[in-house]
Amino acid sequence: MGLILTLNAGSSSLKFGLYGAQPEPDLIVTGQVEKLGLAARLVIDGGPQTELGPTDHAQALSQIMAALAPYLDGEIVAGIGHRIVHGGVAHSAPVTLDEDAIAKLRALIPLAPLHQPHNLACVAAARAMFPAAPQVGCFDTAFHRTHPWVNDTFALPREFYDMGVRRYGFHGLSYDYITGVLHRDYPELVLGKVAVAHLGNGASICAVRNGQSVASTMGFSALDGLPMGTRSGQLDPGVVLYLMTEHGMSAEQITELLYRKSGLLGLSGVTSDMRTLEASNDPRAAQAIDYYVFRIQREIGAMAASMGGLDGVVFTGGIGENSSYIRGRVTEALGFLGVTVNTGRNAANETEIGAGATRVLIIPTDEERIIARAVARAVV
C-alpha cells in the first residue's frame, strides 16, 4: 500500500521520516536537511551526509527523495504528513490539505509568522512533487482545543478573543504521543491528573486531566511560559512596552530579542545548550539553570492547581529525557505535591523514577509518529 513520509519544516531545517504504513507505522529512516539557504547539508540519521549548497524547501525535498530512493525498496510514497505549528481555533485533529484547507492555514500566518510560512512552503513543495498522494496537516495547537474558556482567553476586551487572540498552546503532537503511551501503559494514570513537561530547545508543560489538555504554559505564541534555549518564556508585557517606548526598539528587534537571544542563552551569556551549561563553571550558567529549574517547579505547581491535584509528572524532550540533574533539581522542591525521585533510578534514566505518592515518569516523545499515524489513517 506504499510508504509514509513525514515532514517537519522550520526556517532553517527540514526534518523527515519514512515509515511503512500498516498497521502501526514502522520507522524505516529519519534525517534532515540542515542550514537551508546558502550552505545546506543533507543528513541521513546513522548514514551519510551530503553538502547541498544553496537550497530552498522544494530543492531540499527533491534531494531528500533522491537520498531516500534506496530505502523505498520499489514502493511508492502513498501519503505525506506535515507538522504545522498553527491550526487556529478550527482544528482539533489532523486535516487533509486541499486548496481550501491550505487557504485557511495561510490566513493564520500572522499568528505564527516565524513558523507557519515555512510549514506551508513545504506543503506546496510536497504537493507539487506528489500530486496524487494525500497530504495531511498535523497541528501543534490541536491537542489543546479542549482547554476550558478560562485557559483559552486573556483578560482583554472580548473582541480580541473573537479576533483570535487566545491561549492556543503548542507542542501538541508531543503531548498527544505521551498521552497515547499513558493510555496504553498507564491506564489508571491517564484518567487522573498529569503534568507533562516537554523540555527540549522549546519547552512547555501541559496539564492533562482524563487524557485531555486542560492548561498549558504556552499561550498565544510559542514564547510564553517556561524559559527555553533562546526564548524568554513568560514576560510582563510591560517590559515590551518599555523597550518600545524608552529604548525605541522595533517589533523586529524585540522579536529577535525574545525568540533568539533570551532564555538560557541570554541568562548565561554562554550557550542555549543544557549539556554545555551543566558542564560549565561559569556562575552565569549556574544562575541560568537556577532560573530554569525554578520556573519549571512554579509551573508544575500551577498545572497541579489548574487540575485540582496531581497524580503524575512526565518528563520528555531532550532535557526531560536525558538530564537526571535537571529532573533531580526540579523535583527536590516538589515533595509537598508528593513528587520525589529515587536517586538511582533517576540517574539511570529509568521509566519510573518516582519515590513518593505521585508517579514520576520519563517517556521519550515521538512527534513524527503521531504524524505518521494520521497519514496511515488517511491512506487506508
- Residues lying near ligand ADP in the complex (CB under 6 A) are found at 200-202, 229, 273-275, 278, 317-319, 322-323
User: Least separation, in Å, of the C-beta of 274 and ligand ADP?
Assistant: 4
The length of the chain is 380
- Identify the residue whose cell numbers are 493564520: 108
Q: CB nearer to ligand ADP: give 20 or 317.
A: 317
Catalytic position from the list 26, 140, 185, 282: 140
User: Least separation, in Å, of the C-beta of 315 and ligand ADP?
Assistant: 11
Return left, alpha or beta for 317; rule: phi > 0 is left, psi -120 to 50 is alpha, else beta: left
Cell of 267: 541568562
User: Least separation, in Å, of the C-beta of 175 and ligand ADP?
Assistant: 14
User: Least separation, in Å, of the C-beta of 279 and ligand ADP?
Assistant: 9
Q: CB nearer to ligand ADP: give 79 or 320.
A: 320
What's the CA angle centered on 226, arms 228 and 236, to 5 degrees?
A: 110
User: Least separation, in Å, of the C-beta of 380 and ligand ADP?
Assistant: 30
Q: CB nearer to ligand ADP: give 335 or 344.
A: 344
For the sheet with 95-96, list strands across it: 49-55, 37-44, 26-34, 14-20, 3-9, 77-84, 135-139, 95-96
Calculate the alpha carbon distances from 30 to 17, 27, 126, 371 in Å: 4, 8, 17, 13
For residue 347, the tally of other CB atoms under 10 A from its CB is 14
CA 274, 279, 284, 288 dihedral sign is positive
The single-letter DSSP state of residue 285 is H
Residue with the shortest CB distance to ligand ADP? 318
Strand pairing category for 14-20 and 26-34:
antiparallel
Check if the beta carbon of residue 206 is closer than 8 Å to that of residue 171.
yes
Q: CB nearer to ligand ADP: give 97 or 112.
A: 112
User: Least separation, in Å, of the C-beta of 93 and ligand ADP?
Assistant: 23
Q: CB nearer to ligand ADP: give 231 or 373.
A: 231
- Identify the residue whose cell numbers are 517547579: 297
Check if the beta carbon of residue 53 is closer than 8 Å to that of residue 40.
yes
Q: Angle, to 10 degrees, between the axis of helix 57-72 and the axis of helix 116-129?
A: 50
Cell of 242: 518599555
Q: Is 282 a catalytic residue?
A: no
Q: CB nearer to ligand ADP: give 206 or 319.
A: 319
Q: Which residues are catalytic?
A: 140
